[in-house]
Amino acid sequence: MNTNELCPCRSGKSLTACCGPYLSGQEPAPTAEALMRSRYAAFATRNMDYLEATLVPEERKDFNRDQTEAWAKSSEWTGLEILSVKDGSENDAEGVVDFIAHFRQDGRDLQHRELSRFVRRDSQWLYLDGDVAGATPVRVSKVGRNDPCPCGSGRKHKKCCGQS
């Protein structure tokens, strides 16, 4: 893992300072949002073991590894927007995260919107299920340097994704 590489979840932190410890199994995600971000990072880094391990046990039998891996490999993961978080703190047993995962596939910019439900079992957050709004084409317009960054960080584009 490159210590300077930015985390795919677009937190603005390095992968090793953000989702890396969760993806490697060094420590569990402390909140439902942290698990959501790390699962997005797992898609971007094609970590199928992590995606499967962070499902509730009763859903793992339905995990289609080949299909999930094919989607992850055929997509360029371009950003994550956390729209809202309900509960899901270190002291909660359940949490809900509303998010949009942005990706590029077959030359088209797409998004996957989902309202995901998480549960905490034995001090570990796990993905329970989600309501999907689907993958839809999005229109991409030119972003100015002083415009808000489209990744949803809340920073100006020039101080975020526009630095590259």
pLDDT in tens, 19-49: 999 999 999 999 999 999 999 999 999 999 9
* Residue 7, burial from CB neighbour count under 10 angstroms (0-12, 13-18, 19+): buried
pLDDT beyond 70 at 146: no
Mean pLDDT of 76-82: 94
pLDDT beyond 90 at 3: no
The pLDDT value recorded for residue 73 is 93
| Residue 151 tokens, joined | 């990744």
Judge whether 38 and 9 are in contact, CB under 8 Å: yes
In 10 A of CB 157, how many CB atoms?
A: 18
Considering the four listed CATH numbers 1.10.490.10, 3.10.450.50, 3.40.50.1370, 3.40.50.720, the one that applies to the domain covering 15-163 is 3.10.450.50
Locate the domains of the chain by residue range: 15-163
